[in-house]
C-alpha cells in the first residue's frame, strides 16, 4: 500500500504538463460559463481614488491615459470603462489620450461603449454625453516626453488635432481644459513602467495629481508611490477594477441611474478566484509529491 | 569625425535638457519647448520611416534567401501594407469613413474593426498563455526547499488568497493582511531597489552625456 502511494507521488512529480494546462483551462472556463456571484469589498487604495474623483471640483476635468496594449485588455479595460462611467455619472469633463499607439483602439472602444450607454438612456440634451463638450479624445503623439511636459504648458500645442481629425482649438471643451491646472486628476492605465514617467515629468515639473490602474503583477512596484502620496490611490488588477465597478454602480444607483450595465471586471472575478485556487492546489500538490519522494531518495 | 559629431550632439542636447528642467528662464523654456514639440517629433517621424524600412528590408531579404520560415515574411509585409493603407485612407469606423470604400454590405474593415477583431484577440491569446506556463511552473518549481523559499511561498499564498473574495470568507482580516504585506514590507524593499536603480540610471546617463559610455555608437568600444 505504501509503495503504491509512493508510486502515485512519483508519477505526480512527472505528470505531463498538458494535464495541468487542461485543468487550468477547465477551471477558468467553467466559471465564465456558469459564474458564481462575487461582490468584492473595496480596498483602501481603490476607495481613495473613488472618493477623490467623486469630490473633485466641478471645474476640474478627469484625464485618462490609455497606456496599455491589447494583451492586458481583459484586466485593464474594465478600469477605463468604470472610470469613464464614474466621470459621466457625476458630470465631470473627460480628456482621453494614449501614450502607446496601441492604446488608441482600446480608448476608442471604451469611449464608444460608455457614451453609447449614457446616450441610450438620455432623455434630454443635457443628459447626453457630447463629444467636444463633455469629453475629448486627444489621441496619440510621440515622443512621450513631449506629451508629458507639453500638456503642462498647452494641451492644444501637443495635440493640434484630435483622434478624429478635428482642430482641438475649435472644440468648446478645450476652452475649459488648457493644461494640467484644469485637470483634477490624471489616471494612467498601464501594464508597464509608464506611470513612473508620469511622476518624473508631469508631477515633479507641474504638480498634477496622478493615479494609476495597473496589472496585478505590477502592483508591488507601485505601492511605494501610493504610500508616498504621489499616486492618489490605485487600481490593481482585475480585483481593483471589480472593486471600482462596485463603487461606481452604487454611485450611479444613488444618482437614479439603475441601468443594469455589464461589469466585466466583477464578472471575471469568479474565474480568477477559481484560477487562484487551482494554482494554490498545484503548489500544495507539487510540494507534497516533492517532499514525499525526497524522503524516499534519502 | 563620424564619432565626434554624434558625441557632441549628445553632450549639448543632454546638458541642455537637464538645465531646461531646472531653470525657469523664458528663453531657455522657449528653446526647450521647440526642442520637444518640433525637433523631437521630426526625429520621431524619421525613426518611423527607418523602422518601416528596416522591417521591410529584413523580410524581403528573408524571402530572397528563402531563410527559415520565409513564407511568414509575406504575411508580415502584406499585413503591414494593408493596415497602413486602411489606417491612413480607410477611416476610423463606420461612423467616420475615410477616402477608401472600406465597407462591403454590412461587412466593414475599418481600422477599428481590424484592431478589435484581429489585433486584440491575437495579443490576448499570446498573453493568456502565460497563465498556463505559470501554473505549470508553480507545480514544478515552487518548492519550500529552505526558509527563504518557504517565506516566499507563504507570502504568495496570503497574497493570492487576499486578491480574491474567498480570502475574506476564510478570515475577515486576511485581505487586510495581504494589503499590509504589499504596503509595508514590499514598499520598504522596493524603495531600496528603486534608489539603487535610479542612482544607476543617473550614473549611466552621465556617462553617455560625457561620452565615457559609447556603446550606443555601435562597434562595442
Low-confidence winner among A44-48, A111-115, B135-139, B186-190 (lowest mean pLDDT): B135-139
Percent of chain A scoring above 90 in pLDDT = 71
pLDDT in the model for residue A138: 96
pLDDT confidence bin for A298, thresholds 50/70/90: low
Task: Tell whether A30 and A48 lie within a shared domain.
Answer: no
Measured distance CA(A93)–CA(A103) in Å, rounded? 20
Mean pLDDT over A170-175 rounds to 96
**Residue A268 covered by a domain:** no
Task: Tell whether A110 and A236 lie within a shared domain.
Answer: yes
Low-confidence winner among A230-244, B104-118, B185-199 (lowest mean pLDDT): B104-118
**Residue A249 covered by a domain:** yes
Q: What is the mean pLDDT of chain A?
A: 92
A239: closest chain B residue by CA: B163
Global pTM value: 0.89
Number of separate domains in chain A: 2
**Residue A185 covered by a domain:** yes
Map residue A137 onto helix, strand or coil.
Answer: strand
Measured distance CA(A198)–CA(A118) in Å, rounded? 30
CA A58 to chain B, closest CA, distance in angstroms equals 31
pLDDT in the model for residue B219: 67
Q: What is the CATH number of the domain that holds A239?
A: 3.40.50
pLDDT in the model for residue A2: 64
Query: A129: which 3 cell numbers?
Result: 454625453
pLDDT in the model for residue B94: 76
Residue range(s) defining the domain that contains residue A79: 44-262
pLDDT in the model for residue A35: 83
Map residue A138 onto helix, strand or coil.
Answer: strand
pLDDT in the model for residue B49: 92
Q: Per DSSP, what are the bridge partners of residue B96?
A: B93
Long-range (24+ apart) CB contacts under 8 A made by A152-158 are A152/A179, A152/A180, A152/A202, A152/A205, A152/A206, A152/A208, A153/A179, A153/B33, A154/A178, A154/A179, A155/A95, A155/A179, A157/B33, A157/B37, A158/B37
pLDDT in the model for residue B30: 87
**Residue A1: pLDDT above 80?**
no
**Residue A170: pLDDT above 60?**
yes
pLDDT in the model for residue A148: 94
Task: Tell whether A82 and A118 lie within a shared domain.
Answer: yes
Reading phi first (left if > 0) and then psi (alpha if -120 to 50, else beta), residue A65 is in: beta
Measured distance CA(B144)–CA(B154) in Å, rounded? 9
Query: Who has greater pLDDT, B110 or B208?
Result: B208
Task: Tell whether A101 and A229 lie within a shared domain.
Answer: yes
* Cross-chain CB nearest to B33 (options A153, A237, A273): A153
User: CB contacts < 8 Å between A and B, how many?
Assistant: 144
Mean pLDDT over A101-107 rounds to 93
pLDDT in the model for residue A119: 95
CA B77 to chain A, closest CA, distance in angstroms equals 19
Closest CA to A136 of A188, A98, A100: A98
Measured distance CA(A249)–CA(A89) in Å, rounded? 10
Task: Tell whether A20 and A70 lie within a shared domain.
Answer: no
CA B65 to chain A, closest CA, distance in angstroms equals 32
B21–A283 C-beta distance less than 8 A: no
Low-confidence winner among A98-107, A202-211, B16-25, B66-75 (lowest mean pLDDT): B16-25
**Residue A187 covered by a domain:** yes
DSSP letter at B219? S
Secondary structure of chain A: what % helix, strand, coil (to 5)? 60, 15, 25
A152: closest chain B residue by CA: B33
pLDDT digits (tens, 9 = 90+) for B159-183: 888 877 778 888 888 888 998 999 8
* Cross-chain CB nearest to A20 (options B115, B135, B143): B135
Task: Tell whether A208 and A282 lie within a shared domain.
Answer: no
* Cross-chain CB nearest to A278 (options B135, B165, B175): B135
Please give the C-alpha separations between residue A158 and each of A142, A153, A263, in angstroms, as whole numbers: 9, 9, 34
Reading phi first (left if > 0) and then psi (alpha if -120 to 50, else beta), residue A37 is in: beta
Strands (E), chain A: 61-67, 94-98, 135-140, 183-190, 210-214, 231-236
Host H or E run for residue B3 = none
**Residue B220: pLDDT above 70?**
no
Task: Tell whether A291 and A242 lie within a shared domain.
Answer: no
Query: Who has greater pLDDT, A81 or B220?
Result: A81
Reading phi first (left if > 0) and then psi (alpha if -120 to 50, else beta), residue A165 is in: left
ipTM comes to 0.82
Pairing of strands B103-104, B107-108: antiparallel
Would you call A119 an interface residue with chain B, using a CB distance cutoff of 8 Å? no
Chain A residues touching B116 at Cβ < 8 A:
105, 109
* Disruptive mutation site among B135, B137, B152, B160 for chain A (greatest number of A CBs within 10 Å): B135
Task: Tell whether A21 and A148 lie within a shared domain.
Answer: no
Please provide the distance, in angstroms rounded to a whole number, between the alpha carbons at the two ends of chain B: 16
pLDDT in the model for residue B145: 85
The residues, any chain, with a CB within 8 Å of residue A274's CB and separated by 6 or more, are A27, A28, A30, A31
Measured distance CA(A82)–CA(A264) in Å, rounded? 10
Cis omega (within 30 of 0) for bond into A143: yes
Percent of chain B scoring above 90 in pLDDT = 43
Low-confidence winner among A6-10, A212-216, A240-244, A265-269 (lowest mean pLDDT): A6-10
pLDDT in the model for residue A12: 78
Task: Tell whether A241 and A131 lie within a shared domain.
Answer: yes
Cβ atoms of A269 and B163 within 8 Å: the answer is no
Cβ atoms of A88 and A110 within 8 Å: the answer is no
pLDDT digits (tens, 9 = 90+) for A7-38: 777 777 788 889 999 999 999 999 988 888 88
Torsion, CA A228, CA A233, CA A239, CA A243, rounded to 10: 150
CA angle centred on B148, ends B147 and B151, rounded to 5°: 85
Pairing of strands B91-93, B96-97: antiparallel
B140: closest chain A residue by CA: A286
Closest CA to A231 of A222, A221, A241: A222
pLDDT in the model for residue A123: 87
**Residue A39 covered by a domain:** no
pLDDT digits (tens, 9 = 90+) for B42-85: 988 899 899 999 999 999 999 999 999 999 999 999 999 999 99
Percent of chain B scoring above 70 in pLDDT = 99
**Residue A128: pLDDT above 90?**
yes
Would you call A12 an interface residue with chain B, using a CB distance cutoff of 8 Å? no
Closest CA to A210 of A201, A218, B179: A201
Task: Tell whether A7 and A48 lie within a shared domain.
Answer: no
B126–A275 C-beta distance less than 8 A: no
Task: Tell whether A12 and A69 lie within a shared domain.
Answer: no
Would you call A254 an interface residue with chain B, using a CB distance cutoff of 8 Å? no
Query: Who has greater pLDDT, B113 or A131?
Result: A131
**Residue A267 covered by a domain:** no
Task: Tell whether A119 and A223 lie within a shared domain.
Answer: yes
Q: What is the mean pLDDT of chain B?
A: 89
Amino acid at each position: 500500500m505504501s509503495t503504491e502511494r509512493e508510486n502515485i507521488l512519483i508519477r505526480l512529480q512527472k505528470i505531463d504538463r498538458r494535464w495541468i494546462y487542461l485543468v487550468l483551462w477547465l477551471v477558468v472556463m467553467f466559471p465564465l460559463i456558469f459564474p458564481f456571484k462575487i461582490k468584492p469589498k473595496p480596498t483602501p487604495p481603490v476607495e481613495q481614488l473613488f472618493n477623490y474623483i467623486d469630490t473633485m471640483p466641478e471645474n476640474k476635468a478627469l484625464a485618462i491615459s490609455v497606456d496599455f496594449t491589447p494583451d492586458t485588455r481583459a484586466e485593464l479595460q474594465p478600469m477605463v470603462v468604470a472610470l469613464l462611467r464614474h466621470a459621466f455619472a457625476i458630470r465631470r469633463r473627460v480628456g482621453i489620450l494614449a501614450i502607446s499607439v496601441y492604446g488608441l483602439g482600446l480608448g476608442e472602444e471604451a469611449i464608444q461603449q460608455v457614451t453609447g450607454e449614457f446616450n441610450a438612456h438620455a432623455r434630454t440634451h443635457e443628459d447626453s454625453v457630447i463629444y467636444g463638450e463633455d469629453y475629448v479624445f486627444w489621441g496619440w503623439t510621440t515622443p512621450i516626453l513631449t506629451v508629458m511636459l507639453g500638456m503642462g504648458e498647452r494641451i492644444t500645442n501637443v495635440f493640434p488635432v484630435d483622434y478624429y481629425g478635428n482642430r482641438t482649438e475649435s472644440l468648446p471643451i478645450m476652452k475649459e481644459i488648457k493644461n494640467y491646472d484644469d485637470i483634477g486628476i490624471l489616471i494612467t492605465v498601464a501594464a508597464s513602467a509608464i506611470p513612473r514617467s508620469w511622476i518624473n515629468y508631469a508631477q515633479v515639473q507641474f504638480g498634477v495629481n496622478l493615479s494609476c490602474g495597473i496589472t496585478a503583477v505590477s502592483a508591488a512596484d507601485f505601492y511605494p508611490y501610493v504610500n508616498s502620496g504621489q499616486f492618489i490611490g490605485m487600481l490593481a488588477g482585475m480585483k481593483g477594477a471589480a472593486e471600482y465597478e462596485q463603487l461606481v454602480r452604487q454611485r450611479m444607483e444613488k444618482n437614479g441611474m439603475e441601468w443594469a450595465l455589464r461589469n466585466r471586471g466583477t464578472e471575471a472575478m469568479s474565474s480568477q478566484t477559481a484560477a487562484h485556487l487551482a494554482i494554490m492546489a498545484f503548489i500544495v500538490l507539487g510540494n507534497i509529491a516533492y517532499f514525499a519522494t525526497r524522503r524516499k531518495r534519502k | 569625425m563620424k564619432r565626434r559629431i554624434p558625441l557632441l550632439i549628445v553632450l549639448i542636447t543632454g546638458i541642455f535638457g537637464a538645465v531646461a528642467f531646472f531653470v525657469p528662464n523664458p528663453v531657455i523654456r522657449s528653446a526647450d519647448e521647440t526642442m520637444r514639440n518640433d525637433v523631437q517629433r521630426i526625429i520621431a517621424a524619421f525613426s518611423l520611416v527607418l523602422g518601416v524600412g528596416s522591417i521591410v528590408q529584413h523580410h524581403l531579404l528573408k524571402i530572397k534567401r528563402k531563410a527559415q520560415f520565409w513564407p511568414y515574411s509575406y504575411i508580415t509585409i502584406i499585413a503591414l501594407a494593408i493596415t497602413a493603407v486602411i489606417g491612413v485612407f480607410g477611416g476610423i469606423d463606420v461612423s467616420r469613413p475615410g477616402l477608401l470604400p472600406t465597407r462591403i454590405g454590412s461587412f466593414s474593415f475599418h481600422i477599428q474593426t481590424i484592431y478589435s477583431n484581429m489585433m486584440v484577440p491575437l495579443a490576448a491569446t499570446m498573453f493568456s498563455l502565460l497563465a498556463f506556463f505559470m501554473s505549470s511552473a508553480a507545480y514544478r518549481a515552487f518548492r519550500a526547499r529552505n526558509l527563504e523559499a518557504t517565506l516566499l511561498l507563504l507570502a504568495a499564498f496570503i497574497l493570492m488568497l487576499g486578491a480574491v473574495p474567498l480570502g475574506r470568507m476564510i478570515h475577515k482580516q486576511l485581505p487586510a493582511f495581504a494589503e499590509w504585506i504589499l504596503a509595508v514590507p514590499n514598499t520598504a524593499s522596493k524603495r531600496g531597489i528603486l534608489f539603487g536603480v535610479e542612482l544607476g540610471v543617473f550614473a549611466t546617463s552621465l556617462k553617455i552625456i560625457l561620452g565615457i559610455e559609447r556603446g550606443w555608437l555601435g562597434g562595442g568600444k
